[in-house]
């Protein structure tokens, strides 16, 4: 329960502060976590080693690991500041979309539903919120947290601008299916297994267990699956790359098709991940020793 009260205190005491001040505090918190949360530091180091390659000098791995903690802390700063953020001003000055008109807008206007997916990378939170300023809202699934009050608080902050955020559950799955049927847009992450449904496929050259929920949803509904990956630029600015819809295979072997489609999605993500590994804000270990031993 202490996490809930800590976040609530941060929202009430710090939420109205300017972003530059919040980010400065976030960097201090990130340094403390990096120094003292050795298990998390070991997890991130291992992730960076897989993304950047086993022959990467330790100095570069250390720098990327520090950057992960910094960007992770900034993502929480973004959330607690969100209720006080002017989205239209932010969109005009700090947020750039590439591919919105070419890739996302046609899928939205056809009225058949859209699935938007991303990874825990860069400032994806802000880019998703920026869609509200463009008149686009979505239903987004999030990771259930303990205690449930913490999930409720976080999702409430995220929903303060107009989106709907729901922790993954049977009920929320039914909600997003209804939203798709009504022609709406839904959002799910593709790089962390929060539903308990995963598959082993190559990821950055080494097999890993990765979630399949977003790909399964697209295969079953037949609606466009559109990846969006967001890079932090110069502090609180961000650049969002809305990519063309993923081409899904749907032949006679569902399991083989699922593997192929998940791999295609990961390939899109890997291009951004390898360009700036320190923006991948996952503190859990993605690869394990068994997967490292596989050819």
What mean pLDDT is reported for the chain?
93
Question: CA torsion angle for 30, 240, 127, 101 (degrees, to 10)?
Answer: 180
pLDDT reading at 295 higher than 50: no
Question: CA torsion angle for 253, 257, 259, 263 (degrees, to 10)?
Answer: 160
pTM of the model: 0.93
Note the pLDDT of residue 9. 94
pLDDT digits (tens, 9 = 90+) for 56-67: 999 999 999 999
pLDDT digits (tens, 9 = 90+) for 148-201: 999 999 999 999 999 999 999 899 999 999 999 999 999 999 987 766 678 999
- The CATH code of the domain at 2-280 is 3.40.1130
Phi, psi of 115 (to 5 degrees): -115, 120
CA distances from 3 to 9, 10, 197 (A): 10, 11, 27
């Amino acid at each position: 329960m202490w996490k809930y009260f800590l976040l609530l205190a941060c929202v009430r005491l710090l939420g109205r502060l300017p972003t530059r001040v919040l980010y400065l505090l976030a960097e201090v918190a990130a340094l403390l976590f990096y120094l003292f949360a050795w298990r998390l530091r070991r997890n991130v180091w291992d992730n960076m080693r897989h993304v950047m390659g086993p022959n990467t000098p330790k100095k570069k791995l250390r720098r990327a690991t520090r950057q992960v903690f910094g960007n992770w802390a900034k993502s929480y700063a973004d959330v607690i500041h969100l209720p006080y953020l002017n989205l239209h001003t932010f969109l005009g000055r700090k947020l750039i979309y590439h591919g919105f008109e070419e890739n996302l807008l046609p899928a939205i206007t056809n009225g058949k539903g859209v699935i938007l997916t991303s990874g825990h990378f860069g400032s994806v939170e802000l880019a998703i919120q920026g869609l509200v300023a463009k008149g686009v809202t979505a239903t987004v699934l999030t990771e259930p947290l303990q205690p449930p009050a913490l999930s409720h608080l976080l999702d409430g902050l995220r929903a303060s601008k107009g989106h709907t955020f729901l922790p993954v559950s049977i009920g929320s799955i039914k909600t997003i299916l209804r939203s798709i049927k009504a022609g709406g847009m839904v959002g799910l992450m593709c790089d962390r297994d929060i539903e308990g449904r995963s598959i082993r496929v190559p990821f950055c050259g080494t097999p890993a267990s990765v979630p399949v929920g977003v790909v399964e949803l697209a295969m079953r509904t037949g609606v466009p699956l559109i990846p969006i990956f967001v890079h932090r630029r110069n502090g609180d600015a961000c650049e969002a790359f809305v990519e063309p819809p993923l081409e899904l295979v749907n032949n006679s072997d569902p399991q083989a098709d699922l593997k192929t489609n998940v791999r295609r999605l990961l390939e899109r993500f890997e291009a951004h991940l390898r360009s700036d590994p320190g923006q991948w804000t996952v503190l859990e270990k993605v690869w394990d020793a068994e997967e490292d031993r596989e050819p």
